[in-house]
Amino acid sequence: MAKLTVQDLDVRGKRVFLRVDYNVPMEEKEGKMVINDVTRIVETLPTLKLLIEKGGKLILTAHLGRPKGKREPSMSLAPVAVKLGELLGKPVAFATDCIGEVAEAAVAALQDGEVLLLENVRYYNEEEANDPAFAEKLAKVADVYVNDAFGAAHRAHASTAGVAAIVAARGGKCAAGLLMDRELKFLGDELENPARPFVVILGGAKVSDKIKVIDRLLEKADTILIGGAMAYTFKLANGVKTGKSLVEPDQTATALSAEAKAKKLGVNFQLPTDTIIATPVDTGKLNKKGKPVYDLVNVRTISGDIPDDAEGFSIGEETAKHYAQIISSAKTVLWNGPMGMFEDPRFAGGTNAVALAVVEATQNNGAVSIIGGGDSVKAINKAKLGDKVTFMSTGGGASLEFLEGTELPGVAALSDK
């Protein structure tokens, strides 16, 4: 059922407890923590502006990093409050604690339309434990609950689930922010009854990470295109040699049953016909994590068996062209997982070609294009195509779980319309 959104809320004079995702990358510069990328803050501005306009008293809660229940100064949200104030063009108050007297006093000082950011909620272990007493403390300042942190919605934490349950039990409303609402629309409603042909592109590292998504999407998609390291497990299952490629031998039965299901349902299920391989050569050096560093030499494209001493790193050009052609006639495209190890330019070509095809389908064929998954979004942004697709999910792990059809605790906690 559709969830209540901030647009449906009357918040004038009310204390709005707003969970946001301000887990921004930070770096220490000259003894100060500096924000490297403000995207996540910028993305929340429409929700904030709407609630300010509606006359709510905004109490923002977020986490930063993994302070593991300690007051870790480098993970303070204080710099975020300053940056948010600049971006919003109005002062943002900051409370040095997310619960207790400090937080309550700061909330009491709020006028209608004013904004307060509470300190890192993960300074308390009780947050991730969804401790009921801690949730009560947070909820003490909440009349209305709003969640705009889709990326944290797959975890039942105090600020994503506990507080909402308490507000709801008191008869208060719990709503999705604008960002959360868009995620639910595109990853949910759009894929429920997609315009056809519906083409799904799945890649990334592991079959085991994606099998639930594959299984669910087999029931909806017209075509599934497989790439990335995941493809090699499918190849292995079909008796092709995969050399040193990243494969999961324990997933070959799963891979075969996915192929069988595709056949049964009449889904066009495609595996790569060529692949880019290289030979790893041990340099004798170790990386920061103590793992051996390999040089990748003799980069070449092959079809068929991968030699014993070689490793596959991307779909080949022939596959990329074939996939691009299929994508170009799609009306709905969902992409999760890069087609290769795109972080290395020698293996980025296939991912970039697919990205371009998705953009072309969007712009020339009127397709709705949806990108889910942390690394897929990185790949699209790296190719500078982020603004040319219909929707890029901010959810990472949460997107994947949502696509699997799992009910996310942070979504379940919201009131129905």
The residue ranges that bind ligand ADP (CB under 6 A) are 204-205, 209, 228-229, 246, 312-314, 336-338, 340-341, 343, 373-376
Closer to ligand ADP by Cβ: residue 37 or 344:
344
Catalytic site residue 40? yes
Tokens 């190849």, located at residue: 235
Closer to ligand ADP by Cβ: residue 104 or 209:
209
Q: Which of the listed partners (Mg ion, ligand ADP, none) does 194 bind, with a CB threshold of 5 to 8 Å by partner kind?
A: none
Q: Which of the listed partners (Mg ion, ligand ADP, none) does 338 bind, with a CB threshold of 5 to 8 Å by partner kind?
A: ligand ADP
Q: Which of the listed partners (Mg ion, ligand ADP, none) does 312 bind, with a CB threshold of 5 to 8 Å by partner kind?
A: ligand ADP
Out of 55, 69, 113, 374, pick the active-site residue.
Answer: 374
Closer to ligand ADP by Cβ: residue 21 or 375:
375
Taking the complex as a whole, the smallest distance from the CB of residue 201 to ligand ADP amounts, in Å, to 11
Out of 49, 90, 206, 241, pick the active-site residue.
Answer: 206
Out of 3, 40, 173, 382, pick the active-site residue.
Answer: 40
Q: Which of the listed partners (ligand ADP, Mg ion, none) does 84 bind, with a CB threshold of 5 to 8 Å by partner kind?
A: none
Taking the complex as a whole, the smallest distance from the CB of residue 400 to Mg ion amounts, in Å, to 8
What is the number of the residue whose Cβ is closest to ligand ADP? Answer: 204
CA distance 191 to 278: 37
Catalytic site residue 206? yes
Taking the complex as a whole, the smallest distance from the CB of residue 331 to Mg ion amounts, in Å, to 27
Taking the complex as a whole, the smallest distance from the CB of residue 258 to Mg ion amounts, in Å, to 20
CA distance 38 to 41: 5
Out of 55, 188, 386, 397, pick the active-site residue.
Answer: 397
Taking the complex as a whole, the smallest distance from the CB of residue 296 to ligand ADP amounts, in Å, to 10
CA distance 217 to 220: 5
Q: Which of the listed partners (Mg ion, ligand ADP, none) does 228 bind, with a CB threshold of 5 to 8 Å by partner kind?
A: ligand ADP
What is the number of the residue whose Cβ is closest to Mg ion? Answer: 375
Taking the complex as a whole, the smallest distance from the CB of residue 102 to ligand ADP amounts, in Å, to 38
DSSP class per residue in 187-239: IIIHHHS--SSEEEEE-SS-HHHHHHHHHHHTTT-SEEEE-STHHHHHHHHTT
Closer to Mg ion by Cβ: residue 128 or 375:
375
Strands 115-118 and 57-61 come out as: parallel
| Runs of H (alpha helix) within 12-97 | 39-53, 78-88
CA distance 223 to 330: 9
> How many C-beta atoms lie closer than 10 Å to residue 21's C-beta?
24
Strands 275-286 and 311-315 come out as: antiparallel
Closer to ligand ADP by Cβ: residue 177 or 312:
312
CA distance 305 to 383: 30
Closer to ligand ADP by Cβ: residue 56 or 203:
203
Closer to ligand ADP by Cβ: residue 92 or 353:
353
Q: Which of the listed partners (ligand ADP, Mg ion, none) does 250 bind, with a CB threshold of 5 to 8 Å by partner kind?
A: none
Confirm if 383 and 126 have CB atoms less than 8 A apart: no
Q: Is 51 helix (H, G, I), strand (E, B) or coil?
A: helix
Q: Which of the listed partners (Mg ion, ligand ADP, none) does 313 bind, with a CB threshold of 5 to 8 Å by partner kind?
A: ligand ADP
Confirm if 314 and 341 have CB atoms less than 8 A apart: yes
Record the tokens describing residue 158, joined without a space.
Answer: 């105090």
CA distance 312 to 347: 9
Tokens 């371009």, located at residue: 356
- Cis check: omega of the bond before 292, within 30 degrees of 0: no
Contacts of 316 (CB under 8 A, 6+ apart): 272, 273, 274, 275, 276, 301, 302, 303, 350
What is the contact surface with Mg ion in residues (CB under 5 A)? Answer: 374-375
Tokens 């919201």, located at residue: 414
Taking the complex as a whole, the smallest distance from the CB of residue 141 to ligand ADP amounts, in Å, to 36
Catalytic amino acids? 40, 206, 374, 397
